[in-house]
Amino acid sequence: MYPEYFSVRMRAAEGKAHELGGKHISGGERLGNRLQLEVIATELLAKASNHSRGSADFIQLVVEKVPGEELQFIPPLDVSAIEVATVQEGHDKAKDQLAAAGVSERAIEHAFLILNHERNLRGAAIVNCETGERLDERGQKGVRVSRMDWTDCGHVADSVRVREALALATKVAQSPYTVAELCWSDDPDYVTGYVSSQQLGYVRISPLKRMGCESGGRVFFVHNDVDIDSYIDFLERKPVFIQGGESE
């Protein structure tokens, strides 16, 4: 008998729903059992209602049971940090990390163009690590990584923001198709971003953008031989628990 778990997903927008042109405010992903649903829903609603990007007037919560037999348990990526004096230095460090992971200069430059665009992606862009071609064909919607959470996150990271990002990065890096990820937040008050991969771990870099800037998002770099449909299905639907524990 497999345990009963549910995926709880939140998205929030200002003005109108995302697909009708509303401004993206916030999103969240959790996994929990039936007894945890009320607490999780309350936490996600609070996140949607208190955000520096604006005041959400469209909030959607989706609760969906996940097949217990599909649950996967994986360890988190190792965490490290790089502090720099300027945004340009941060970009240079991120580019060095991505190149070390096997991403071409062309693909790196395209990724930075995507993340610097004034119209943010609601999900991630999937980019070929060699050619720089975007493969997901999702436009502004992008690909939203879903169905992941921690088994125990009490000692993994100092903030909810970092725990959420580390869980997502760990799931993305778990796929054999993933070469690396580049991310910085669209939150105007948060300037830290990261580069991650199985090889690099989760490398926090600050700053990766200027204070007050609302541009941001995620780019996943993938191998040439990626099965794009299988890859997106893993990101969106595979339920994954990250095994928490004491951080160093």
At 247 the pLDDT is: 40
Kindly state the tokens that stand for 225.
């031989």
pTM to 2 decimal places: 0.90
Provide the residue type at 219 as one letter.
V
At 107 the pLDDT is: 98
At 208 the pLDDT is: 97
| Mean pLDDT, each 10-residue run in order, the chain (248 residues) | 88 81 85 94 91 82 91 96 98 98 98 85 94 93 94 66 94 98 93 97 97 93 97 97 67
Half-sphere exposure of 41 (CA within 13 A, CB side): 13
Q: Are strands 79-83 and 201-206 parallel, antiparallel or unpaired?
A: parallel
DSSP string, 55-66: --SEEEEEEEEE
**Residues 243, 151: contact at Cβ < 8 Å?**
yes
**Residues 144, 138: contact at Cβ < 8 Å?**
no
At 26 the pLDDT is: 85
Q: Are strands 178-184 and 240-242 parallel, antiparallel or unpaired?
A: unpaired
